């Protein structure tokens, strides 16, 4: 049985607020998690994703972020924590730390040495099997098709047949492969949830028969993303296009017309600050704060969406 009742809906990958001296801002993180729990359509929250600046956090800090969010949302929403490691031993250790901190599910990112060297198909199943021994649901985090850490449709089907893999966070950035992968997962086990993580083109990816969105963008504009999702579910293309028209300037201001990057996460935090979602836009070095021109573009996009508070 899955440890989270369902994965269908909106799951924000939560940003991690920092103090001026770059420590985890627990009070701000609790406030933000509590706010996300009030947003329509949100069914869970994910910690330690790329939007949460996971690569700037130590393993202990990652567990601490999960502990803070899980304790704030206890009895309200389940928490998924990303596991991003290089080997079997540290992956299992960090998975145990996340479980002990209160996570109910684990988002499994590919080991990043796969980006450089690639992998054999059995490496993937062994990696997931190793992490599964901690007893939590696993979410397969699917990387862009152009990377060497991209999974084939056959590998995704094999993962879908594993009982402990309950969902897929799909971000191929290649619509042909995206459609083929969705079909392969559905054919292998139609009960497994498929969640788009294409922050930069939500409408195009939502209409392909998925079950929701697991995106960092939802830590900033969860209500708009849920409005879009509801319109897609209702088959109301006119309404969906209207909502996407509000999202697109925000998407362009945050992602710069491309895929998420470290600096995109800094722009996201600045947008959240301008919208009153966060009280400070601090990011950890070496990620850099937005330029004045980028802030002006963010301000215009936030104002266009009717969200400007600062």
pLDDT single digits (tens) 133-144: 999 999 999 999
Q: Token pair 């450089």 is at which residue?
A: 116
CA nearest neighbour of 43 among 81, 22, 12: 12
Do the domain assignments include residue 23?
yes
> 60-108 pLDDT, tens per residue?
999 999 999 999 999 999 999 999 999 999 999 999 999 999 999 999 9
Give the model confidence (pLDDT) of 144-162 as tens digits.
999 999 999 999 999 999 9
Q: Looking at residues 275-287, what average pLDDT do you find?
A: 96
* SS percent in the chain: helix, strand, coil, step 5: 50, 15, 40
273 vs 5 pLDDT, higher one: 273
Tokens of 52: 């949460």
How many domains is the chain partitioned into structurally?
Answer: 1
Average pLDDT for residues 11-38, to the nearest whole number? 98
Across residues 266-278, what is the average pLDDT?
98
Backbone angles phi, psi at 153, to 5 degrees: -60, -35
pLDDT for 193-241, tens place per residue?
999 999 999 999 999 999 999 999 999 999 999 999 999 999 999 999 9
- Number of neighbouring beta carbons within 10 Å of residue 296: 12
In a domain, 101, yes or no: yes
Q: Are 8 and 43 in contact (CB under 8 A)?
A: yes
CATH code of the domain covering residue 65: 3.20.20.70
- Provide the residue range defining the domain that includes 178: 9-236
**Structure token digits, residue 14:** 């939560």
Q: Decide if 274 is inside a domain.
A: no
Give which of 214, 267, 229 is closest to 13, Cα–Cα. 214
Question: pTM score, two decimals?
Answer: 0.96
Q: What share of the chain in percent tops pLDDT 90?
A: 95
For residue 274, list its beta bridge partners: none
* pLDDT recorded at residue 243: 98
Quick check: 2 pLDDT over 70? no
261 pLDDT higher than 90: no
Residues 6+ apart with CB under 8 A from 253: 267, 271, 294, 297, 298, 300, 301
In the predicted structure, residue 4 carries a pLDDT above the cut 90: no
| Element (DSSP H or E) covering residue 72 | helix 59-72
C-alpha to C-alpha distance for 262 and 141, rounded to whole angstroms:
18
In a domain, 112, yes or no: yes
In a domain, 278, yes or no: no
Reported as a pLDDT band with limits 50, 70 and 90, residue 6 is confident
Q: Which of 288, 286, 252 is nearest to 269 (CA)?
A: 288
Does any domain span residue 258? no
Average pLDDT, the chain: 96
Q: What is the pLDDT of residue 1?
A: 44
Q: pLDDT at position 3, please?
A: 57
Residues of the chain with pLDDT > 70, as a percent, come to 98
For residue 164, give every residue at least 6 positions away whose Cβ sits within 8 Å of its Cβ, in sequence order, or none: 128, 132, 136, 137, 138
Does residue 168 form part of some domain?
Answer: yes
Is 108 contained in some domain? yes
The pLDDT value given to residue 12 = 98
């Amino acid at each position: 049985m899955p440890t989270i009742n369902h994965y269908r809906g909106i799951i924000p990958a939560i940003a991690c607020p920092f103090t001026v001296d770059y420590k985890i801002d627990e009070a701000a993180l609790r406030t933000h998690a509590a706010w996300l729990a009030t947003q329509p359509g949100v069914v869970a929250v994910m910690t330690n994703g790329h939007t949460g600046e996971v690569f700037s956090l130590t393993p202990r800090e990652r567990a601490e972020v999960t502990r803070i969010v899980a304790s704030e949302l206890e009895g309200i929403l389940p928490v998924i924590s990303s596991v991003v490691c290089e080997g079997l031993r540290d992956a299992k250790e960090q998975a145990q730390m996340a479980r002990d901190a209160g996570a109910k599910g684990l988002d499994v990112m590919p080991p990043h040495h796969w980006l450089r060297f690639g992998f054999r198909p059995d490496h993937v199943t062994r990696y997931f099997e190793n992490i599964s021994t901690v007893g939590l649901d696993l979410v397969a985090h699917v990387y862009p098709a152009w990377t060497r850490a991209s999974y084939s449709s056959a590998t995704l089907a094999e993962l879908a047949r594993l009982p402990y893999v309950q969902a897929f966070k799909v971000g191929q950035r290649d619509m042909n492969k995206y459609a083929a992968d969705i079909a392969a997962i559905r054919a292998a086990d139609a009960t497994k949830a498929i969640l788009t993580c294409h922050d930069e083109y939500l409408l195009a990816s939502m209409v392909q028969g998925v079950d929701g969105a697991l995106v960092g963008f939802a830590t900033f504009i969860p209500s708009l993303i849920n409005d879009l999702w509801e319109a897609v579910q209702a088959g109301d293309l006119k309404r969906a296009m209207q909502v996407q028209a509000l999202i697109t300037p925000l998407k362009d201001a945050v992602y710069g017309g491309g895929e998420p990057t470290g600096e995109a996460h800094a722009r996201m935090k600045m947008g959240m600050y301008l919208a009153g979602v966060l009280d400070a836009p601090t990011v950890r070095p070496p990620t850099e704060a937005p330029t004045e021109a980028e802030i002006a573009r963010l301000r215009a996009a936030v104002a266009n969406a009717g969200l400007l508070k600062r």
